[in-house]
Structure 1
Amino acid sequence: MSTNKSRRNRAAVRAAAAGAAALGVGLAMAAPAHADAFVRLPGGSAHGDGLDLTRTSESAQISPSLAGNGLGRTAWVSAHIVLKASGLKESAAGPNNGPAGESASPGSNGTSTDGAAATLSVGYIVGCQVNVGSASVGFTGSLNALTSAPTGTGTLSVPITPGQVVFAQIDYKDIEKSGTYYFDYDRVQLQVQNCAGYAQARSFVTVETTGSNHRKINLYGKPFSIG
């Protein structure tokens, strides 16, 4: 009797273990893990009359939306930017009205000068169901402002609909005299919302001078997918 009872107990233990294993597999299939994608982007440079822009260490970490509805996603973006400006006529910054949207000033990349010798603006072009690979100037879109200071981290929220392109400015610096200037941002959160389709982004850096000798150069990064 004891032998039969022992066999029955061992069979019950094996059945319970098999059931627990099957339950574990079922749970794993119901809630799959989504790993972030890390994108290392190439550097670049752009040159004008007395203006040299360089971008290095650009990267993006792409995260799917926790809501899992396909309308939102996040990219954590970082880069190191250097501006070498020579021959500027010294000029102090005056009152600033803030950057103008592309619909108000087509081709401006959302930048606006305020009397300073030059203005350095940094941001991203974001497109929903649009290939931004050839994006330069003249797109129609809207501007979303970031409230954090330069060289810091923050969140840039970009509501965007299919077929739309947005110039989203991270921040800007007033350049009041000749010199070398640095603009770093580390893991700024770029939140794309309401995009029912694929989304792309590419960085832009714009420097524009004031005065009679007006100069403007743009430096664009390599486009990357946000999913």
Structure 2
Amino acid sequence: MVSKTGRWITGAGVGLTALMLGSGVAHADTTVQLPDGEQALTTASGVQVDLTRTGEQAVVAPSIAGNGLSRTASVTGVVFAKIGNATKGMLTTGYLVGCQVDLSGGLTLGGDVWVSPNSVSPEIAPSIKLVPGGVTAVPLDTKQLDPAAGAVGIAYAGRGIQVSGCGGFAQARAYSTLTVANQQGSTEVTLYGQPFSVG
């Protein structure tokens, strides 16, 4: 789990600039409370799945560079799955992010260095290129199912998403994909969240 007090470090010439997400001017940030979601079913191979997302919220902020082409969001949520009659499984959660008009020749999502107070070293978030009007998946974490426990979960807090070079509308939407299997076969179940504007 990542603390809400994590920070971004971005390179600027020969210096470094530290940005505390959510700690800027109060009126400039927008907090979006997002609804809980659930996907409950029994697969064709007889695996019982109850996949939920709770406590999701996003804090959207304008660029500290003061231009209209960049913006950031920090996201929080808990994804949990109860699974019966499975021998193995994997849970991946993240966000789908898209930009209406890309003016940079590519869209960078979380391309800086993310530092968590709970870790001893920075986490390098991926840089992903998008064509105009494109959408990409930005995974946050992946966990393997413990069949003995019959459950798997991922909690994240204050995880950063950075959108740069976006000249139009940008939007993000949570996704959580659970793959489960037993001797009869495997099934993939995906739970989507409510879309929200990143500016």
Q: TM-score of the superposition, structure 1-length normalised?
A: 0.60
1:209 to partner: Cα distance: 2.0
Other-structure match for 2:143: 173
Q: Given the alignment, which residue of 155, 159, 166 partners 1:195?
A: 166
1:190 to partner: Cα distance: 0.8
RMSD: 3.2
Q: 1:56 to 1:126 in 2, by over 3 A?
A: same
- Hey, what's the Cα distance between the residues in 2 that align with 1:147 and 1:173? 22
- Hey, what's the Cα distance between the residues in 2 that align with 1:208 and 1:48? 13
Q: 1:192 to 1:145 in 2, by over 3 A?
A: closer
- Hey, what's the Cα distance between the residues in 1 that align with 2:186 and 2:58? 33
Q: Would you say how many aligned residue pairs link Structure 1 and Structure 2?
A: 156
Alignment of 1:97-176 (within 5 A): 117-129=88-100, 156=125, 159-176=129-146
- Hey, what's the Cα distance between the residues in 1 that align with 2:177 and 2:132? 26
- Greater Cα radius of gyration, structure 1 or 2: 1
Larger helix percent: 1
Tell me the percent identity. Answer: 39
- Hey, what's the Cα distance between the residues in 2 that align with 1:143 and 1:207? 23
Q: 1:203 to 1:57 in 2, by over 3 A?
A: same
1:194 to partner: Cα distance: 2.0
Matched, 1:183 2:181: no
Q: 1:224 to 1:56 in 2, by over 3 A?
A: same
Q: Which amino acid aligns with 1:61?
A: V
1:189 to partner: Cα distance: 0.6
- Hey, what's the Cα distance between the residues in 1 that align with 2:153 and 2:166? 33
**Secondary structure of 2:166 counterpart:** coil
1:124 to partner: Cα distance: 0.3
Other-structure match for 2:36: 43
**Secondary structure of 2:185 counterpart:** coil
1:34 to partner: Cα distance: 5.7
Q: TM-score of the superposition, structure 2-length normalised?
A: 0.68
Are 1:74 and 1:191, in contact at CA under 8 Å, matched by a contact in 2? yes
1:159 to partner: Cα distance: 5.0
